[in-house]
Every structure is written in structure tokens, then in C-alpha cells.
Structure 1
């Protein structure tokens, strides 16, 4: 799943693509957690048990072992720290992150297969056992800039929109969502969004690849920016069902924010989706001009939603389902997929110190301390959208990396 943020890079402009309250989890109900527990239970049943945990004996304050050297990565530098330096460490409900951890073990990070085998049965362990295991098996590192300076990080949010759609074009549903054109190669520079909308020869190459039709082209843009979504789709026989459209590629052009375009033209002061929609309603003759300011188009593949998969998020770049409030998108040059991360942020949208998993990426997620928090799924009025649309605030990150020789 590859998504982008619509942040204008102005401090007051909110994200129009992602947020999360302090584990409100965007409607991630107890029933849904119960279903995810089935995943954990099935994995526990076939996993070998962990080695006995070391006692906590006072927690991170007693951590006095020698610190390892710093780790240099392409996009960041990891500086080793004590557990006591992680703000809020020990107060988070680690079991709420364990489902995301276990799901990530479907495709573990290199060298972490053994740790995944230990993590699975710990899903039903006590909070003290989970905390002790993490402290024994992992070393925390503060994520810094490559030159070692401490950056002012940025946290935004993203979500999975739920939209109404038609399987066939109608008088009201006239905006198509496409599967990839034949022969499109990964990274290939194909036609622009404007070409797709205006050129008959390009449209001919996409004929028959329409997956569904939307009533509003801005909805299509939102879906492409988020990288995945759910459609309440009306079939030709009148039946309605919900399906997922998952990211399947793009046309190779660089993503450009339409919110940034409008701000640069001084057409709006509010780069939220509400502000953009309001401008579009007042300027219908310029709608295409705004849409074509972003040359990138995303292509999708349709996935059936079962009772089971409907309780999980879309698969991120790591290839595993995302968990609301506990999965983040990162710059993989800074933090590898599958890495447990301690996140600390404070702002008007979210005050949180919690364990999350690096399981996705996005076109606008670039930098050492840059993350996008997956908030869940919903319509324009649901918590997942409301959270995602307001989250834009400072961020600190610490990676938890396996201790050598353990």
C-alpha cells in the first residue's frame, strides 16, 4: 500500500489524508479485537514457547549494561539509549500492539524469525512478561538524522476510505477506477492523469479494466492518495456488497499535492479535504485543472472481503495487514519494515507514547523521523477519517532492535 499526504508544509495546514486518538482505534471495537485474537490463538497453537523471561526487578531504571555502538543507515542514525529515556515506557498496554506484531511476523524482518517464534505465544502472556521479554531481547535506539543531529519529526495519519460505487457507469457515477493497464512495469513512466482523462488512445488501453465507477472525482483522488479503500458497490443486478480495492501500481509520475497547488495559488487557506471540496463546489469549471495538477494516477486490484479480512486493514508495504493505531508508514531508508518502534507525540490531535510497528510506506513519507499512523477505515463522518484529517504534529521515534548474541 503506497499512499501520500496532502499536507501543504505550512504549519497550520492539516493533513487531508490521515490521525488517531489515544487508542480510540477509529471504531476498532471489542468484537473486532476478539476476531483478531483468533489470529493470535491460531499462531500460538503452532509456535514454540519462549525461553524463560528475566525478571524486571525495578524496570528500565535498573538497565546499566554497556550500550552498543550507534548504527548508521542510509536515511538515519540510530543512537543507543537506556529504556528509562523512552518517554512513557512501561505505561503502554503492550498487548494492544501485540496483534500488529504477530501479523507482522507473517513476513518477519531479516534475522528476526526466532524472535517472532517467541513473540507469538507471548500474545497471551501477562503485561509484565511481555515487558520483560522486550527489554531482554531488544535494545532501544533513538532515531536521528544521518549526521547524528536530533530532528524535529512529523507525524500525520492515514486511513482506508469507505465509498459508494457502481459496477457500471451511470448518469451519476461517471468517474472510473482502473486496474493496471496491460504490460505496465513497476517504475515505468506511463501517461499522466490528464492524458488518461482526455486522450482517446490512452482510454482505449484502459477499456475493460474499469473496476468500478464513483460519483465524485475527488473521491477517486482521495482513494488514490490513501492507496486502498472499501467500496459499497452496486452490481448490475442491483445487489450490493463491500469489496476492497488494494494498491496495484501507479503511472510512474511524481505525486503532487492538490492542496499545495491550491495554497500556492492562494485559492484556499484551509488545505483540508473539506476546504478542497468547498473550493471545487464553488469552482466547477476549474475542477479538472486542480485534479491534473497531480499527474500521478494509482491503479487497483479488487479483493473480496470476508468476515475475517473485513476486521483487518489493507496490506501495507511489508505485505501484512495494518492494525489501526499500531501500524505506521515510514521511510524504509530510515527504518526497515517489520521493526517495532516506540512513538512519542504531543499535540491537539493526539497525545501518545506507544509501541507501533513499521509496516507501510508512502510517497510523502520521507525522512529520518517521519511517520504516518494508520487510523482504520470509515466514511467522511467516522472517527478514522476525522482522526486522519487532523493529525499533523511533532514526533520522536525510537527503534527496538534485536540485541546481538541473544
Structure 2
């Protein structure tokens, strides 16, 4: 990956900028801007608390910066799953999700086949489907429907430190799926239809995610993102924080069958989200959000809105 380059743009160069709902983006920005401890951002957080006109606020205090690193832009989508599960093992509830162990470095296969975490009191819940458990880790958070009708919410707790491998890319490399055929639903179907081979495929991704219970988050709010605040469907994105500061406004121009031009807020991260031009759009909770997010694999560009002094320094090099 090449060294990043920084190009200053104007708001007139952001396609669709004038037509967006800046108030919606501003409301989401305020939920996390106070957690940004860099001085230039803290000043803008104080101004945001005075509730200025949203579009004027962004245009007066920010400068759009296009950050590139030589890699093509890729938009994907993610969501918060809703799954059947139980706090106790038994019957069909036989696939555990774990809290973070003291020694988390085991591979996915060692955890699932060797049962190295069994009887250590780390099981948060038990699910009915190993594929659901795998994709819950991919998404990083979820809601679990309990047998008594209650809801248990879990969020990202930690990782085992092993490298992330895209299962979709493995299937493409094996010639099982074409590049245009890869989707979450296609992967689910293949794993479920191929027994031991399906389970072995999941082991190709050695990265393993541990969880924590976050049921204190109100049901009408989104799951917690990397800033430990609820994220918002259609306005929060996951980014690579090596290039994009968490909490920053980010203008997206997504191409594809359903183009999207919208001001988002970078409030999350992801194991597969690496690079300056890489973003994961949060679509919300449940099956419909999952269906929408699974269809996203589009090009385009993202442009980060930086405080003007920060932007000037980056562009000047």
C-alpha cells in the first residue's frame, strides 16, 4: 500500500452536498464529537453544542480532504443481527459465544474444535447455529432473543490477535464462487450445505471475536461502536482509523445500483476495514438491514471533513 496523499477539495466538489440532510448528520456528529480529545476537534465540539445551522457549521469550520493510498475504493455494509439464543446450554442451544479470556490467543479452530475455553465460565450465551455465531463475530455486535421473550445485547469485547481472512475471498480463490457472486447469504448457504467442509472453511479465518454484554443500551438506540456510543443506521460508518479520525464527518459518494451521497460520521472500525478509501456502512438492526447490507460491494469515494487547521497541515505535508 502506497503512502497516503492528501488533496484539498471544496464543498462544491462534493457531488450532492447541497441536497443532503445536514441536520441528521449533525445530530449524529454531536453524539461523539465530545469524545475527541485533540484540541482542534474539541473546539468544534464546543461550537456544535451551541446548535448552529448544520450546513453552515460544516462549511465554515471544516475543509474536505480526499485521502488516497493507491488502493481502489470499496464500500460494504454491516448490520446488527437478531439471533435466537439462551443464557444456558441445552437442546438446540449448543454454540457458545464467549467473553474475553485471560489468554485469548487461540485460533478459531482451537476454540471450536479443541474446546480450550470450555468450563472457564466465559460463555455469555448459546446460539442455535454455528454460522450465526460466525457472522455475529463478523458484525461485532448483535441482539439475542431469549426463550422467555427477553433480549440480550452483546457488543465487541476483544479479539484473539490472529489475522483476519475473508471467507468470501477463499471461496473465490477456490473457484466455488465468482467475484460477483460473493455475499453473506451465498457464504451462509455454502457453509450450511457442505457439512464438515463448511466448518473447515470458517476455520480459514483464524480471527476470533469475544463479546461483552451491553444490554443497558436502550432498545431504540443502535449498538455501541468503537467510540463506545450508539451508532446510527444510515449515518454511521466504520473506517480505518489509521487514515480517518474516529468521530470525523465523512462525505460518501457510493456508486452501484443504489447510489448514496450522504454525510456520515466515522464512529466504528472493523477487522476487514483497512485503507484510506474503505468504508462499511451501518444499515441498522435485524433481517431487513442484513439483507440490504449484504448487497453492498460498490466503488466510489469518501472525503473526510477535517478542521481547517488540520486539513491545511495535512495537505501541506
Report the TM-score, using the length of structure 2 for normalisation. 0.90
Structure 1 residues 399 and 277: CA distance shift in structure 2, 3 A: closer
Which ranges of 4 or more aligned residues in structure 1 deviate by more than 4 Å? none
Aligned counterpart, 2:198: 287
SS in 1 for 2:96: strand
Which of the residues 16, 31, 45 maps onto 1:103?
A: 31
Give matches, 1:321-332, under 5 Å: 321-332=230-241
* More deviation, 86-95/274-283: 274-283
RMSD value, Cα: 2.0
Aligned counterpart, 2:298: 393
Aligned: 1:240 with 2:160: no
Instruction: Say how many residue pairs are matched.
Output: 306
Give matches, 1:211-222, under 5 Å: 211-222=124-135
Contact 1:109–1:339 at 8 Å: present in 2 too?
Answer: no
Give matches, 1:297-316, under 5 Å: 297-305=208-216, 309-316=218-225
Aligned counterpart, 2:250: 341
C-alpha distance in 1 between matches for 2:97 and 2:286? 19
Aligned counterpart, 2:273: 365
Which of the residues 84, 106, 116 maps onto 2:45?
A: 116
C-alpha distance in 2 between matches for 1:277 and 1:164? 16
* Post-superposition offset of 1:159: 0.8
Aligned: 1:88 with 2:26: no
SS in 1 for 2:24: helix
SS in 2 for 1:231: strand
Aligned counterpart, 1:166: 86
Bigger radius of gyration: 1
Contact 1:313–1:376 at 8 Å: present in 2 too?
Answer: yes
* Post-superposition offset of 1:114: 2.1
Aligned: 1:77 with 2:5: yes
SS in 1 for 2:18: coil
- Of structures 1 and 2, the one scoring higher in RCO (CA 8 A, sep 6+) is 1
Contact 1:75–1:334 at 8 Å: present in 2 too?
Answer: no
Unaligned runs of 5+ in 2: 311-317
Unaligned runs of 5+ in 1: 1-73
Which of the residues 107, 121, 141 maps onto 1:208?
A: 121
* Post-superposition offset of 1:152: 3.4
C-alpha distance in 2 between matches for 1:365 and 1:116? 26
Contact 2:81–2:143 at 8 Å: present in 1 too?
Answer: yes
Which of the residues 57, 67, 71 maps onto 1:133?
A: 57
Contact 1:325–1:373 at 8 Å: present in 2 too?
Answer: yes
Structure 1 residues 75 and 354: CA distance shift in structure 2, 3 A: farther
Which of the residues 305, 309, 313 maps onto 1:404?
A: 309
Contact 1:157–1:391 at 8 Å: present in 2 too?
Answer: yes
Contact 2:34–2:42 at 8 Å: present in 1 too?
Answer: no
* Post-superposition offset of 1:155: 0.9
Structure 1 residues 275 and 311: CA distance shift in structure 2, 3 A: same
C-alpha distance in 1 between matches for 2:192 and 2:282? 29
* Post-superposition offset of 1:388: 0.6
C-alpha distance in 2 between matches for 1:142 and 1:242? 41
Structure 1 residues 283 and 208: CA distance shift in structure 2, 3 A: same
Report the TM-score, using the length of structure 1 for normalisation. 0.71
